[in-house]
């Protein structure tokens, strides 16, 4: 458990008068939060890419893409804990269930969650799909036990249509036509079957999200009841399964070479890609088999394009119900994913590829729509930002800062981002420092071509010490 050092880390949540002039005209704006699992910022809206993602790119063109957004943890549960609470927290996938246990024992000692805060201030809050760690937000053997909510009191409705996959646990790692993961070694690491979006679990998730938008839009019009709808898309999470039509984009695509593909030397947070390697790989290893590595990358890309098409469907429905101009849309990736960089196929490390993920915020009248910002920001900042955009009271219990400056001016400066997992790390404009539990330090210079392959701590001892001191002030170790 990582505890915040409140006496040393106090962030002033700044809301400039007039920053959101278009927002002030409508004080009851809706929020649509789209969460995409394991999504790399390898999209055209973040820089030229081979990825086919027209709908996410269109969303970025109407808003602000944050090209250097970092998550608090390179794992689903801990990262989503921070998104949904605005606070540093545990490093495990059970982080939100730990919070639920604390709520049960002493509810007054646990600050509200982000959806809980919006619900308290008059919003209807609905979650569909994988928004918290468990799709549908429940515990139990099959993740469908109503007596074990992951986020008590946060949602009016927390939904996961399992369909042929039987239950949320089955949907989480499901392949086409109801295939459920029992033993990962018996499930193919990638797959592309012919059929429509509904042959994989995410198709059903988005079908339900569209139904919810119809209901929420009607309530908004009839009762002036704003909504906070969170939609969690599972792909491109492992296994990489998507309808075959999305793989056709990459049949003849020329994929760029993987940068820094070798296992790092020295002490790092490198790992053996256990989550990936446990699936059926036909006895092939992408670190030693270039053709297999290419196929893995193509199937990952197909999953991204599948997710993009689903985002497009949600956005089209938002427009169809007449709520597009009255809704703040946030697209967020819960962490990055290595596709062979540092000889890793997965997340969980504290390298750039695990910690950098897409963040896009869009609303009507945003200044310089379509201009991305290179400011360093972090997931912690989303909660206070949405409060600023919707004119809700600013919560004094969050650990992030409003992104108002960057939304008003894409050239505005950001702030160092903190992450944790197999150690703790801080990233500023130029450097990443990683501090291991035994005190060992890695320092990487992003102005160097070597990037995160050469530890320069000995060359820049003053930088390493300054970043270490700042990291210690932000987190109680």
For the chain, domains (ranges, CATH) are 3-422 (3.40.720.10)
What are 234's two structure tokens? 């599972």
CA 99 from chain centre, in angstroms, equals: 19
Is 35 one of the catalytic residues?
no
Which string of DSSP letters, residue by residue, matches 382-404?
HHHHHHHHHTPPPPTT--S---H
pLDDT of residue 5: 34
pLDDT digits (tens, 9 = 90+) for 14-58: 334 344 434 443 468 999 999 999 999 999 999 999 999 999 999
Average pLDDT of every residue of the chain: 94
CA distance 401 to 224: 29
Q: Which of 19, 45, 76, 303 is catalytic?
A: 76
pTM above threshold 0.85: yes
Place of tokens 């946060």: 154
pLDDT digits (tens, 9 = 90+) for 190-238: 999 999 999 999 999 999 999 999 999 999 888 889 999 999 999 999 9
Name 230's bridge partners: 33, 127
Main-chain dihedrals φ then ψ at residue 129, nearest 5 degrees = 90, -150
Q: Which of 69, 133, 134, 167 is catalytic?
A: 133
Is 133 one of the catalytic residues?
yes
pLDDT of residue 337 exceeding 90, the answer is yes
Buried b (16+ CB within 10 A) or exposed e, 377-400: bbbbbbbbbbbbbbebeebeebbb
pLDDT digits (tens, 9 = 90+) for 422-453: 999 999 999 999 999 999 999 999 999 999 99
Is-contact 14 385, C-beta < 8 A? no
Strands (E), 177-291: 190-193, 227-233, 240-243
Of 49, 39, 32, 110, the closest CA to residue 71 belongs to 39
Handedness of CA 347, 348, 353, 357 (dihedral sign): positive
Q: What kind and span of H or E run contains 176?
A: none
CA distance 45 to 181: 34
Burial class (CB in 10 A: 0-12, 13-18, 19+), 26: middle
């Amino acid at each position: 458990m990582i505890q915040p050092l409140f006496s040393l880390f106090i962030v002033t949540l700044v809301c400039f008068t007039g920053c959101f002039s278009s927002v002030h005209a409508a004080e009851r704006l809706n929020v649509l939060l789209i969460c995409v699992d394991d999504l790399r910022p390898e999209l055209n809206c973040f820089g030229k890419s081979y990825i086919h993602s027209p709908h996410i790119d269109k969303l970025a063109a109407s808003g602000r893409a944050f090209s250097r957004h970092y998550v608090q943890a390179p794992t689903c549960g801990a990262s989503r804990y921070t998104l949904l609470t605005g606070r540093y927290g545990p490093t495990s996938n059970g982080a939100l269930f730990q919070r639920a246990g604390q709520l049960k024992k002493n509810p007054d000692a646990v600050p509200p969650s982000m959806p809980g805060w919006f619900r308290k201030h008059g919003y209807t809050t609905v979650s569909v799909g994988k928004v918290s760690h468990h799709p549908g937000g429940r515990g139990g053997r099959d993740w469908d036990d109503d007596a074990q909510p992951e986020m008590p009191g946060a949602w009016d409705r927390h939904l996961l249509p399992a369909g042929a996959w039987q239950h949320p646990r089955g949907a989480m790692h499901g392949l086409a036509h109801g295939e459920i993961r029992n033993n990962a070694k018996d499930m193919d690491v990638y797959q592309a079957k012919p059929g429509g979006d509904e042959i994989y679990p995410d198709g059903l998730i988005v079908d339900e999200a569209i139904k919810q938008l119809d209901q929420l839009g009607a309530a908004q019009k009839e009762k002036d009841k704003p909504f906070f709808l969170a939609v969690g898309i599972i792909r491109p999470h492992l296994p990489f399964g998507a309808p075959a039509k999305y793989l056709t984009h990459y049949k003849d695509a020329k994929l760029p070479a993987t940068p820094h593909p070798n296992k790092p030397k020295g002490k790092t947070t490198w790992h053996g890609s256990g989550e990936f390697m446990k699936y059926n790989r036909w006895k092939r290893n992408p670190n030693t088999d270039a053709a297999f590595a290419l196929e893995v990358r193509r199937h990952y890309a197909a999953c991204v394009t599948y997710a993009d098409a689903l985002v497009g469907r949600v956005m089209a429905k938002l427009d169809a119900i007449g709520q597009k101009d009255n809704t703040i849309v946030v697209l967020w990736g819960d962490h990055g994913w290595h596709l062979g960089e540092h000889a890793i196929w997965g997340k969980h490390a504290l390298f750039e590829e695990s910690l950098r993920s897409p963040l896009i915020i869009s609303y009507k009248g945003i200044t310089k729509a379509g201009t991305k910002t290179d400011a360093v920001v972090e997931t912690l900042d989303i909660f206070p930002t949405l409060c600023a955009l919707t004119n809700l009271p600013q919560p004094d219990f969050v650990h992030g800062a409003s992104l108002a400056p960057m939304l008003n001016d894409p050239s505005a400066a950001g702030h160092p981002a903190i992450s944790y997992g197999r150690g703790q790390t801080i990233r500023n404009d130029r450097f990443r420092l990683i501090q291991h539990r035994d005190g060992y330090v890695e320092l990487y210079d992003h102005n160097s071509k070597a990037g995160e392959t050469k530890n320069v701590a000995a060359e820049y001892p003053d930088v390493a010490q300054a970043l270490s001191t700042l990291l210690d002030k932000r987190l109680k170790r």
